[in-house]
Every structure is written in C-alpha cells, then in structure tokens.
Amino acid sequence: MRLFQIPIGLGVSILLARFLGPEQFGQYTFVMVLVPLLALPITGGMQNLLTREVAAYSHAGKWPLYKGVLRAAHGWVLLVSGTLLLLYYLLAFVLDVIPTSGKWSLLSISIIMLPMLGLNAVRSGVIKGLGRPAMAELPGLLIQPTIGLLSLAAIAYTMGLNAERAIWVQVGSAASSLLIASLIFAKIRPQESNRQRPEYELKSWAAAFTPFVLLALIGTFSAQLGILALGLFSSDDQVAALRVAERGAQFVTMSLVVVNLIISPHIVKAYRSNDMELLQKLSKQSARGAFAIALPIGLVFIFFGDWLLGILFGEEYSNLSYIPLVILVVGQLINVFFGSVGFMLAMTGHEKLSFKGTVLALAINLVLCSVLIPFYGAIGAAIAVSVSVVIWNITFGYMVFTKLGIRPSAL
C-alpha cells in the first residue's frame, strides 16, 4: 500500500499543479505541510505506542489496561487538539498575531483536520496492535488519498478548482478515513473489554510516548524542512517548484522502499544468528538490485526531466522545477547506492546511533536551507536536502562499518 502512495500522490500533484498554477499550488502545499507538523503532539508516536501497548495487553488478557490506554489516547488527542485549535483562533482572529490573509487564510480551514489526524493515528495504532496491520493501513494509505484524488478530479472538471476547495477536499477525505477506520475498529474490537473498568499506567505511557514524539518530530521536520523554509522565506511558486521536483525524485527511491520491506526480517535473522557473511551479502545484493532499478529512472529524469515536467505538470514547471529535480535525483541516487544503512542500524539494535545521525543530517539541512534559500529559492532547498541526504548516508554507512563490520553500498 505504501507503494501506491507515490503514484496517487503524483496524480494529486499533477491535478493541483495544472489547475491551481504555481502560486496557489505553492500556498496549498505549504499549508498541507504545516498542519501535520502542528499535529505532531497528538500523532507523533501515537500509532507506534498504541500498537505496542495494545498488542501486549490483548495478548496477556489485560483488558482493564487495554481499555485504559484507549481512553487515555482519545482523551489526549481531544484535549491537545482542542487546545491547539483554541490557541490558533485566539492568536489569529483576536490578537492578530498570526496572519489571516493570503496563504495563511487556508490554515483556518486545514487546521480543522487536527483532531481527525490524531484520532486516525489512534485508530490505526489500535487496529495494528490487535493483529490487523493491513486493515490498519488501509484507510490512511489507500482510501484517504484515493478519495482525495477522485474528489479533486471531479471538482476540477466540473466546478473548477482553487486552493480553498482543494483544502476542503483534504478535510473531507480525512473525515472519510476516520469514519472507515472507526467502522473497522468497531468490527474487530475485543468483546472481552466491554465490561471491564479501565486501569491506567499514565507515567509509563507518558515516558514511552516522549521518545516516540521526538523521533516523529525529527523525521517529519527533516522530510518537510525544504517546503516549510520556502513557504516562510521565499515565494509561493518556489514552494510549488520544490514539491513537483520531490514527486519526481520519489520514483528513484521506490526500489529502495521495496528492498527495505523485503530484507528487514532477513537482517534481523542474520544478525541474531551472528552470520556476518550473510549480512554482508544481504547489504551488497540489495543495494545493487535497488540501484540497478533506480539508475535508469534517475537518468531519464536527468536527461528528459524538463520535457516530462512540461507534459505532466505544465510548461511553466519545466523552468521552475527541472534544476531542483536533477539535484534531488542525484542525491537520491546516492541514497539508493548506499542501500539499507538506516534499516541495518535499526534492525540490529543501534537505534540511538541512527537517531544521532538523523539529528546531524537535520542540523546540516537547517543550516544550508537558511543560507541558500534566500538567494536561490527552490534550487537552494534542493541542494540543502541532497547534501543532507548524502551526509546522512555517509554517516550511517560509517556506523554500519564500525559497529557491524559490514561494508555498505552497491560496490
């Protein structure tokens, strides 16, 4: 299902880019990046925490604690999202601290999604913890983006599309996803918990939730830093330029995504068996296979990217997005060439090291964005992203070599 996200996301971006134009598409993109960042206190780590706790409690038959963690999660989401909504409307419409014109007017609509995003994270985590991972991912990864794509297409070819209508479509698709996830949960929830009085381990849950939130914050902020910085310090059309370039560069990494899904259990098995020779073989062969697929895709974008951008997104994006696309593609080719270095560390118990490496790459990305974006716009953001990706891979590759004795990369 995760692979379907890329072509569906591409379809949404093509529709929006063509019907909104660079300025409105940039405004839409900035707001749709900002809302998930605001939602991190309620979504960041919630799914993983609930998956772990629900799986443990249901397996052990601890239904009072199962019921307690569900109530605590729902209470946290409603309390924090309600506080954020109240704070936003107070700062924006009473105290005039937050702008309410231009692209900022879209935030007053999109921020409605905060409780929906939080409750979706709760539903997904609980359903996955009850042993239904595919059903847990279905609403968010497949149904919601598909509803969004079809709705955008219908509005674009009937009423006409603008940024405000596009935001309302996303609000509606988030609500639809929540409804479907709630129906799935109602169907599979354990009947044993119905007559139980809830019990709570709030200190334990809070202690576990904090590192999950920090990891989500670092990961989300790192992935969206370029768009966020362009939205704050550059023009709307530069935001659109980078978003279009990112959609193309995603296709280069598809092979690595597939490889990571396939080899992760084999990495764990080889490491626990202390079979370093097999681990080295897995590393090299998976990197070679992923790079063999990624390289021709990347070369097509490098040599024919301006033509493809013109056909798919419109001629105006040929000039805006081509150079950022090439820069991002080169960075992602290097990423694929190094192979599954992040998964190697995560699957062999070196999560703290991988966290430090991610923080380092984010810091470099932040510094480069602050220096380059004011002068070079989307090109500067693409350089910052690609440099941080290369440094991330070199750092992780060194960690894999020193801690595991494995030489990563396709060589």
Same domain, 239 and 167: no
Burial of 303 (0-12, 13-18, 19+ CB in 10 A): exposed
118-126 average pLDDT score:
93
More confident residue, 208 or 249: 249
Rounded Cα–Cα distance for residues 399 and 393 (Å) = 10
- 254 in Cβ contact with 10 (< 8 Å): no
Residues 6+ apart with CB under 8 A from 31: 103, 106, 107, 110, 167
For range 317-334, the mean pLDDT: 95
The pLDDT of residue 191: 85
Q: Does 386 share its domain with 248?
A: yes
User: Count H helices, E strands: the chain?
Assistant: 15, 0
Q: Cα separation of 313 and 401, whole Å? A: 42
45 with 107, same domain: the answer is: yes
pLDDT at 139 over 80: yes
Judge whether 394 lies within some domain: yes
Tell me the longest C-alpha to C-alpha distance in the chain: 64
Grouping H, G, I as helix, E, B as strand and the rest as coil, residue 301 is helix
Query: Do 99 and 156 meet the contact criterion of CB atoms below 8 Å apart?
Result: no
Q: Is the pLDDT of residue 405 over 70?
A: yes
Could you tell me which of 365, 372, 356 has the C-alpha nearest to residue 331? 365
- 154/280 same-domain check: no
Radius of gyration in angstroms for the set of CA atoms belonging to the chain, rounded to a whole number = 22
Residues 307, 161: one domain?
no
Mean pLDDT score of the chain = 88
Taking the CB of residue 265, how many other CB atoms lie within 10 A of it? Answer: 10
* Residues 315 and 397 reside in one and the same domain: yes
* Neighbouring residues of 117: CB distance < 8 A, sequence distance ≥ 6: 35, 36, 39, 42, 43, 174
Same domain, 41 and 151: yes
Q: Are residues 187 and 252 in the same domain?
A: no
- End position of a domain, from candidates 200, 219, 249: 200
Q: What is the mean pLDDT of residues 28-49?
A: 90
pLDDT at 261 over 80: no
Question: If DSSP states are collapsed to H, E and C, what string results for 228-259?
Answer: HHHHHHCCHHHHHHHHHHHHHHHHHHHHHHHH
Q: What are phi and psi of 409, to 5 degrees?
A: 110, 170
pLDDT value, residue 3: 61
Would 396 be classed as within a structural domain?
yes
pLDDT score at 206: 87
The answer to whether residue 17 is domain-embedded is yes
Domain contains 411 = no
The number of angstroms, rounded, from the C-alpha of 165 to the middle of its chain's C-alpha atoms is 23
Is 212 within the bounds of a domain?
no
210 domain residue, yes or no:
no
Question: What is the model's pLDDT at position 1?
Answer: 58
Range of the domain at 315: 232-404
State the DSSP string of 175-237.
HHHHHHHHHHHHHHS-GGGTTPPP---HHHHHHHHHHHHHHHHHHHHHHHHHHHHHHHHS-HH
Last residue of a domain, one of 183, 200, 217: 200
Amino acid at residue number 296: P
When divided into structural domains, the chain yields a total of 2
Residue 327 lies in a domain: yes
Average pLDDT over residues 283-306: 91
Q: Which residue has the higher pLDDT, 154 or 143?
A: 154
Do residue 246 and residue 129 come from a single domain? no
Please state, in angstroms and rounded to a whole number, the distance separating the CA atoms of residues 382 and 251.
Answer: 16
pLDDT value, residue 351: 67
pLDDT tens column, 43-101? 987 888 898 888 888 888 899 999 999 999 999 999 999 999 999 999 999 999 999 88
- 194 & 236 share domain: no
In a domain, 380, yes or no: yes
What pTM does this model have? 0.89
Helix (H) or strand (E) holding 28: helix 2-38
Look at residues 153, 177, 200 and tell me which one is the last residue of a structural domain: 200
Q: Do 254 and 189 lie in a common domain?
A: no
Co-location of 144 and 254 in the same domain: no
